[in-house]
Amino acid sequence: MQSLDFRSFLLASLFSLVGWLLYRALYRLVLSPIANVPGPKLAALTTLYAAYYDVYLPGQYVFKIKELHKKYGPIVRVTPHEVHVNDVEFLDAIYNPPSRKRNKFLPNLKGLPLDESVGAARNWELHRKRREALNPFFSHKKVLETEGLIRGKVDRFCKNLDNGLKLGSVVNLSDMYFALALDVVQQYSFGQDDNVLDDLQEANRLRNNIARLLRGVNFNRHFSWFIRMMSMLPKSIGDSLVPPGVTDLVRFRKNIRENVDQVLADTENEHKGDLKSVFYELKANQELTKFERAPSRLEDEGSLLIMAGTESTAKSMQIAQYHLLANPSVMARLRDELSKEGNPTELKVLEQLPYLSAIILEANRLSFGLTGRNTRVAPDEVLRYKQYVLPPGIGISMTTLCIHTTEDIFPDPWTFNPDRFLGREGMERRKYMMSMGRGPYKCIGINVANAEMSMVLAAVAGYELQLFETDEEDVKFMSDSQIAHPKPDSTGVRARVVSKL
SS3 of residue 464 by DSSP: strand
Residues of this chain that bind ligand HEM (CB under 6 A): 118-119, 131, 185, 188, 304-305, 308-309, 312-313, 316, 364, 367, 369-370, 374, 435-437, 441-445, 448-449
In angstroms, the CA 61 to CA 57 distance is 9
Of 188 and 416, which has the nearer Cβ to ligand HEM?
188
Minimum distance, C-beta of residue 150 to ligand HEM, in the bound complex (Å): 11
Of 44 and 206, which has the nearer Cβ to ligand HEM?
206
Alpha carbon 251 to chain centroid distance? 20
Nearest-5° angle of CA 441, CA 443, CA 447?
140
Minimum distance, C-beta of residue 393 to ligand HEM, in the bound complex (Å): 19
Of 123 and 163, which has the nearer Cβ to ligand HEM?
123
Contact (CB, 8 A) for 278 and 305: yes
Nearest-5° angle of CA 340, CA 342, CA 343?
100
Minimum distance, C-beta of residue 170 to ligand HEM, in the bound complex (Å): 25
Minimum distance, C-beta of residue 197 to ligand HEM, in the bound complex (Å): 16
412-439 per-residue burial string, b: 16 or more CB within 10 A, e: under 16: ebeebbbebbbeeebeebeebbbbbbbe
Query: Residues 6 or more apart from 69 whose CB is under 8 A from it?
Result: 76, 84, 86, 402
| 158 marked ligand binding residue | no
- Nearest to ligand HEM by Cβ — which residue? 445
Of 64 and 128, which has the nearer Cβ to ligand HEM?
128
The burial of 316, by beta-carbon neighbours within 10 Å (0-12 exposed, 13-18 middle, 19 or more buried), is given as: buried
Q: For 105, which DSSP code?
A: P
Query: Residues 6 or more apart from 437 whose CB is under 8 A from it?
Result: 95, 369, 370, 374, 443
Of 60 and 146, which has the nearer Cβ to ligand HEM?
146
CA distance readout (Å), 179 to 127, 189, 228: 29, 15, 32
Secondary element (H or E) of residue 314: helix 295-326
Of 40 and 97, which has the nearer Cβ to ligand HEM?
97
Minimum distance, C-beta of residue 123 to ligand HEM, in the bound complex (Å): 12
Strand order in the sheet with 376-377: 75-79, 82-85, 395-397, 376-377, 103-104
In angstroms, the CA 285 to CA 488 distance is 43
Minimum distance, C-beta of residue 313 to ligand HEM, in the bound complex (Å): 4
Of 165 and 308, which has the nearer Cβ to ligand HEM?
308
In angstroms, the CA 86 to CA 400 distance is 10
Of 52 and 137, which has the nearer Cβ to ligand HEM?
137
Residue 385 CB coordination number (10 Å): 17
Minimum distance, C-beta of residue 438 to ligand HEM, in the bound complex (Å): 7
Minimum distance, C-beta of residue 444 to ligand HEM, in the bound complex (Å): 4
Binding-site residues for heme, in ranges, read 443
Q: Which residues are annotated as a binding site?
A: 443
